[in-house]
Structure 1
Amino acid sequence: MAFRPNCPQPSNCLIHCFSEAGRFVVNEKLFPIRFASNVAYVNVLRNGTVTSIPLVFFFARYLYEEKTKHERIAECVVTEAIIDLPHCYNNEHHRWILNSAAAIIGVRISEFLDRPIFAALSYSPFPPHVRNVLVFEFGSGGLCSSLLEVQRGNLGITVVASHRSYGCPLVELMGEEMEDKFGIEIKESGAELFSVNAACDLAKNALCSGQPRAVVNLSFLQGKYGVQISPQVFDLAQVTQLNLHWIGENITRCLLQVEEDPMNAVDEVILVGDSVGIPDVKRMLEFLFPWRQLRDELDPGTFIRELALDMAASCDDETMVVSADYIERFWSWL
């Protein structure tokens, strides 16, 4: 049901890098989680009709699809699973939901991998002077910065701070302008937020197709609110800087949890996921952290998956490997 951009750029296009994150937020509004008798429910579309199901069943449906896919390839029954999670997801609440969802389909989750720690391990051992490592990633559902402390002698790695951001910066900017100028809170309405998100995606598509400027037209709000809304014009540089500012703000909020002078808290930076190989992101991180080593020569996401697959192969029972990125993408394409 969500608008799907037809971007001629690769999947790690900086202009579109937060498009799925924007759809993630839209679907949270269109299909909000509600509680009844301490049970979480979510609305989903089934045959064109909105149906309310327990949130645990929602994730069970996803895990069942992964289980079926794995069994088709392996030609045997899956009874165990290994799941890698961003640190912000790796808490008791989310683990309980996923464990309960897995139990419904007859699967036991044998291991949750804390993604930033295992991303750091892909570059281990660290030199003696490296004590604090920033792991930065963005994927389908948002972006996450995690500050890790490396014990002397590489005897252990601990996450000491983490911050996750959701949404699309361009959509957020348009929402703020509508509220500041007209008192319109588009984020309170899932349908309006959906339309604003689609309008922003159209503008991003135009920029990535080579047009020097693109228009975000929100005139569809005029009739309902009785105001005159002028189209907003953006060029490629403006949207690029908007996204880079969003990234920098996420990193700063993470580091401020533990340091008054955040940028001096980092000895080394590791890129994960779609952030690997984007020149503008690399240049921004080099500007924020001069004279620190920036590690992007590997794809830690691939390392984590290979590690998880090795762990699965060593298990006695048939074990599937699931990434939280795919769970988030499942949510964003409701």
Structure 2
Amino acid sequence: MTGNTTAIHLGNTKSCVAGYGGRLDPHTAYQFCIPSWVVFTDNGTLVGEAAMNHAAVRPGTAVSGFKRLLGIRMYNEMVKREAELVPYHFTEQLGRCGIEMEIEEGNLKRFLPEDVASILVAELKRMAEAHLGREIRYAVVTVPGHFNGVQRSSLVMEAAQWRGGFRTAKLVDEQVAAAAGYRLHEKRGDRKVILVFHLGGRTCHATKFRFKDGSGHLLDEHHDAYLGGDDFTGRVVDYFVELIEEKHHRDIRGDEGTLRKLRAECERAKKLLSDREGVLMNIGSVLGEGADIYEELTRAKFEELNRDLMERGMEIVETVVMEGAPTSQMQSRKDAIDEVILVGGSVRIPMVGQLLEDYFNGRGLIRDEDAVIRGAALLSRPESARYVEECYYGGVSGPLWLAK
């Protein structure tokens, strides 16, 4: 029945639910998104916007960006790197990486990243059910193509089914979902070579694959778990910390409250620069000064601060395009790609799109921040079931939908 299955996409910064169905028209599409934040307090749990707002005041009680920790061991190198970025601690739980934080009144809480994922899944499920006016039993859950079998199992079995409330959940790779958003999994995309480039809030990856009779065949994949929009914002924060010290004689490096305010203002400015050439930032409000003190951030300055990070993203694309071939084959390798799809919130940054257009010699690119969740919603419909069940589900390791 239309509306009895929904699509779930958990991102590091934003999570969404989408599908088809409504009280009046069962074929109407719906989509709801929330920030990927969860807060634990003595009085209960906050999710989404409320959690993100609470994190601005009590950052040590909030969790976001947990996705890359799903299903990994405590002594994985990624845990060491993550520990340098977050205000809480990691402990071994059930042989895996767990999270330990001090909530209000000094109480300690220990949990797994899967618990955080399940709280978000349950909230998205609740939102969709409120829209439809009935229970949803089944889900199609998106997963990064580079996730291994343990990570995939932790997402679908623990987060979506055991704790998230779905009777059955099946996986589809994010790259396949993005292509399905443009119906490239159907006959019109048969034999086409597709490159999906994802640049989100915290991660970056590129995947090249081909559909043959509805089945995806991997050609190459490369990713960077620590490259995304948050890094771009961080460069702007560093710039203004130095500017404030130079022009306003304030060193705010040790002032966590002021740094949080500055980061929020830099994040706002970054987003506005997607449509503007410059943004005035009220530094006075950040510093708590009585008078308004404005400094301008131009798009040109933003691009200067972040050029090397964006070029790192381009290196990921080139690695996947070339597959180790000599540079003499570069043009033929580019020409062999039929469709290029850009997904993730950070692809809205004009320089990102321009670098990719230049790399592909000015060809038209599909830029669609929500292609993954929209494609997953299409695959959640009964008539699309075979693309999930037959082609992309099952197995124990590696990208489950891909066969070389």
| Shift, 1:271, TM fit | 1.6
The 8 Å contact of residues 144 and 163 in structure 1, kept in 2 or not, is answered as: yes
Specify which of 56, 69, 87 is matched with residue 145 of structure 2.
87
The 8 Å contact of residues 119 and 135 in structure 1, kept in 2 or not, is answered as: yes
Specify which of 191, 215, 222 is matched with residue 162 of structure 1.
222
Aligned match of 1:149 = 209
Aligned match of 2:199 = 138
Q: Relative to 1, partners in 2 of residues 1:96 and 1:249: Cα closer, same or farther, differing over 3 Å? A: same
Q: Relative to 1, partners in 2 of residues 1:253 and 1:27: Cα closer, same or farther, differing over 3 Å? A: same
Structure 2 CA distance, aligned partners of 1:206 and 1:303? 28
Query: What letter corresponds to residue 324 of structure 2 in structure 1?
Result: E
Structure 2 CA distance, aligned partners of 1:35 and 1:45? 16
Matched, 1:33 2:94: no
Q: Relative to 1, partners in 2 of residues 1:48 and 1:211: Cα closer, same or farther, differing over 3 Å? A: farther
Aligned match of 1:67 = 125
The 8 Å contact of residues 134 and 146 in structure 1, kept in 2 or not, is answered as: yes
Q: Relative to 1, partners in 2 of residues 1:195 and 1:159: Cα closer, same or farther, differing over 3 Å? A: farther
Structure 2 alignment gaps of length 5 or more: 1-53, 58-63, 69-81, 242-253, 288-294, 387-404
1:140-183 Cα distance to aligned partner (Å, 9 max, x none): x42423231326788644252131324323425767999xxxxx
> After superposition, where does 1:41-52 map in structure 2 within 5 Å?
41-43=98-100, 51-52=108-109
Structure 2 CA distance, aligned partners of 1:149 and 1:200? 37
Structure 2 CA distance, aligned partners of 1:107 and 1:297? 28
Aligned match of 2:390 = none
TM-score by length of 1: 0.61
Structure 2 CA distance, aligned partners of 1:211 and 1:163? 32
| Shift, 1:290, TM fit | 0.7
| Shift, 1:288, TM fit | 1.9
Any idea what SS the aligned residue of 2:378 has?
helix
Aligned match of 2:378 = 307
The 8 Å contact of residues 172 and 376 in structure 2, kept in 1 or not, is answered as: no
Structure 1 CA distance, aligned partners of 2:364 and 2:279? 36
C-alpha RMSD of the superposition: 4.8
> Percent identity among equivalent residues?
18
Structure 1 CA distance, aligned partners of 2:258 and 2:168? 38
> After superposition, where does 1:250-261 map in structure 2 within 5 Å?
250-256=313-319, 258-259=323-324, 261=327
Matched, 1:58 2:123: no
> After superposition, where does 1:180-259 map in structure 2 within 5 Å?
196=259, 198-203=261-266, 205=268, 208=272, 211=279, 235-243=298-306, 245-256=308-319, 258-259=323-324
Q: Relative to 1, partners in 2 of residues 1:72 and 1:44: Cα closer, same or farther, differing over 3 Å? A: farther
The 8 Å contact of residues 64 and 105 in structure 1, kept in 2 or not, is answered as: yes
Any idea what SS the aligned residue of 1:73 has?
helix
Any idea what SS the aligned residue of 1:30 has?
coil
1:198-231 Cα distance to aligned partner (Å, 9 max, x none): 4244345468495467879x99xxxxxxxxxxxx
Structure 2 CA distance, aligned partners of 1:277 and 1:115? 18
More contact order relative to length (CA 8 Å, sep ≥ 6) = 1
Structure 2 CA distance, aligned partners of 1:308 and 1:168? 32
Q: Relative to 1, partners in 2 of residues 1:304 and 1:247: Cα closer, same or farther, differing over 3 Å? A: farther
The 8 Å contact of residues 171 and 200 in structure 1, kept in 2 or not, is answered as: yes
Query: What letter corresponds to residue 58 of structure 1 in structure 2?
Result: V
Q: Relative to 1, partners in 2 of residues 1:149 and 1:36: Cα closer, same or farther, differing over 3 Å? A: closer
